[in-house]
């Protein structure tokens, strides 16, 4: 298994940042060909997901719905005031996997990978692990 690390800067408290092209650059630069890539977010207030990337309104809708589903609230007991961010992170999850075939991610036609920020703006990391 080989690994790599990405850095993502977010600008808003809730933001879905497309990272498909960043991951593709790492795959190409490392010469990873056929196998599986795991994309892992090592933060308790962020996540990662695969969804449509052709229409940017999908990501905006997901941001809006996430904030409506679990709003920031002072009724939560966690002293840092970001319990909503922890909850959203658990909903989306901290890792996904994708198949690498002939040096490219084998995603559906409209699919892309998003870093999901729920407690920004921040500078974040994304870990990649490739196994053939």
The reply to whether CATH 2.60.120.460 applies to domain 2-73+81-131 is yes
pTM: 0.95
pLDDT in tens, 14-40: 999 999 999 999 999 999 999 999 999
36-45 average pLDDT score: 98
pLDDT higher than 80, residue 48: yes
Domain boundaries, the chain: 2-73+81-131
Q: How far apart are CA 21 and CA 55, in angstroms?
A: 16
Q: How far apart are CA 23 and CA 38, in angstroms?
A: 11
Q: How much is the pLDDT for 121?
A: 98
**CA-closest candidate to residue 24, choices 91, 95, 105:** 105
pLDDT in tens, 54-94: 999 999 999 999 999 999 887 877 878 799 999 999 999 99
Q: How much is the pLDDT for 81?
A: 77
pLDDT higher than 90, residue 103: yes
Look at phi and psi of residue 21 and say left if phi exceeds 0, alpha if psi is from -120 to 50, else beta: alpha
């Amino acid at each position: 298994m080989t690994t790599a690390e990405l850095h993502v800067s977010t600008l808003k408290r809730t933001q879905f940042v497309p990272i498909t092209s960043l991951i593709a650059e790492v795959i190409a630069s490392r010469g990873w060909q056929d196998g599986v890539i795991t994309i892992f977010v090592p933060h308790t207030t962020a996540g990662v997901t695969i969804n449509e990337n052709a229409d940017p309104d999908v990501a905006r809708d997901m941001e809006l719905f996430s904030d409506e589903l679990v709003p920031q609230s002072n009724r939560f007991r966690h002293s840092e005031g970001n319990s909503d961010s922890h909850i959203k992170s658990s909903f989306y999850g901290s890792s996904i996997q994708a198949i690498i075939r002939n040096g490219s991610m084998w995603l559906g036609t409209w699919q892309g990978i998003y870093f999901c920020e729920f407690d920004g703006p921040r500078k974040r990391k994304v870990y990649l692990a490739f196994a053939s």
